[in-house]
Homo-oligomer: A and B are copies of this chain.
Amino acid sequence: MAREEDPRIARSRALILDAAIEAFHEFGYDGVSVEIVAERAGVAKRTVYNIYGDKEALFRAALGRSIATAEQFASLLTEAIEELEDVRLELPRLAERLAEAVVLGPVLPLRRLLVGELARFPDLVAQYRERAPDTVLRALAGAFERLAERGLLEVRSPTLAAEHFAFLVMGADMDRGMFGTRIEPPARVRAHAREGARVFLAAYARR
């Protein structure tokens, strides 16, 4: 029972998954044939079916990995959020990191794909939201509540404050990124993030 997996399977599985992620992100579920994935993976079509069963399972495996990647980004952010102390000093940098992770990282293509397949795979969309953006928003809300109790911020609703922060910081760039493949210049994204943090503080910091 404790047998190692045949390295041939592991190798094929990995090759196929990488090819599938890339292809699905680029062309969507319907835009990709299993044969194309096999070709890109350098593997026979039959092998794809042997390992993943059918196209839907392959898609779910690919998205599972993409979502896990997004989740990792999210958990790095939540760590940083939970360590927030001096809000005036640290918030701009945190904003930059948030915007970088979402707008410049691999998150945007995933979000585009999920929106496109919402009708077919609503459960995957729900899973993504729970595992990535919602954890970040919860962490932000927790941090803001804590900082409000310390008298550093003036917060009516921590949840709402978290949303305001996130969308001030990267709302516009995220939206542009959803509706265009043209990448926003990183320096601009960071500048927008800092400006967003500044505005957030202007509204929420105790005078």
Contact = CB atoms under 8 A, between A and B. Distances in A.
A163 interface: yes
Interface of A is mostly: helix
A178 B27 CA distance: 19
Contacts of A179: 114-115, 118, 125, 128-129
A167 B118 CA distance: 23
A125 B28 contact: no
Interface in A101-129: 112, 114-120, 122, 125-126, 128-129
Contacts of A28: 116, 119
Contact of A112 (B115, B126, B167): B115
Contacts of A163: 171-172
A9 interface: no
A202 B178 CA distance: 29
A118 B181 contact: yes
Query: Copies per complex?
Result: 2
Contacts of A128: 179
Interface string A126-141: 1011000100000000
Interface string A174-207: 0100111100000000001001100110111000
18 contacts: A26-B119, A28-B119, A115-B178, A125-B180, A126-B180, A133-B175, A157-B195, A160-B192, A163-B171, A164-B168, A164-B199, A166-B172, A167-B175, A171-B171, A178-B178, A202-B202, A202-B204, A203-B203
Interface of A: 26-28, 30-31, 112, 114-120, 122, 125-126, 128-129, 133, 156-157, 160, 163-164, 166-168, 171-172, 175, 178-181, 192, 195-196, 199-200, 202-204
